[in-house]
Amino acid sequence: YTNGDNDFSAQLARLQALGEKPDVIFISSYGSDIGVLIRALREVGIDSPVLGGDSYDDPALHENLGEKFGNEVYFVTHTWMGPEAHPDMPKFIELYQAMYDAPPDTSFVATGWDTIMLMAEAVKMAGSTEGDAVAKALEEGEFKLLTGDLSYKNAAEGHAPDKAAVLVELQGGKPAFLGWRRPSNPPAP
């Protein structure tokens, strides 16, 4: 399908023609398309678990799916905005709310915070703002961040970040923390 389509009848017909219900359905998409696709699946009786990525980390999607359609939907994202993810998360949320007069609407605000804190820590470790020194500090450091522990120590493999992701399940349209997940053998970059 193409982003923005509203008619998924061809895709739904192919799934229904399988005879057996799929074990899982992976939908990689953005924005409102995800909700429309999941609703369409459920409306034709396909109740297989749906898996996705960080684009599912969107309160508008959760609200759109609601209690009726927002079940058996799982996604990985960058962090969880609760104490289960990190003991300092409630304090971060409190500070954010004081500054912006609203709670964070997505976990990406914590990711932004960590980006700044990561660079500040690397500069501190390097004792300099010189690029090579900061890069070396990033390469050698183990960083304890709000969004999880991070290391870039695999320089020989292209500096892919070694960081766990959060697994989330929608239960009645409400996100629930299932825990941190780190692949045991991530693919090469």
pLDDT tens per residue, range 99-157: 999 999 888 899 999 999 999 999 999 999 999 999 999 999 999 999 988 998 876 67
Cα torsion 82, 76, 52, 116: sign:
positive
Q: Which domains does the chain have, with CATH numbers?
A: 9-82+163-181 (3.40.50.2300), 89-162 (3.40.50.2300)
* pLDDT value of position 188: 66
Instruction: Identify which of 179, 6, 3 has the alpha carbon closest to the alpha carbon of residue 77.
Output: 179
| Bridge pairing between strands 50-52 and 73-77 | parallel
> Is the pLDDT reported for residue 77 higher than 80?
yes
| Bridge pairing between strands 73-77 and 165-171 | antiparallel
Q: At what angle do helices 108-126 and 89-100 cross, to 10 degrees?
A: 110
* pLDDT value of position 155: 63
Per residue in 24-71, pLDDT (tens digit) is 999 998 777 899 899 999 999 999 999 999 999 988 899 999 999 999
Structure token pair of residue 115: 């980006």
> Is the pLDDT reported for residue 1 higher than 80?
no
Name the amino acid, one letter, at 99.
M
> Is the pLDDT reported for residue 189 higher than 80?
no
Instruction: Please list the residues that pair with 26 across neighbouring strands.
Output: 51
DSSP-based helix, strand, coil % in the chain, nearest 5: 40, 20, 40
Is the Cβ–Cβ distance between 123 and 129 less than 8 Å? yes
| Helix, coil or strand: residue 128 | coil
Per residue in 154-180, pLDDT (tens digit) is 766 777 788 889 999 999 999 999 999
Name the amino acid, one letter, at 18.
L
> Is the pLDDT reported for residue 18 higher than 70?
yes
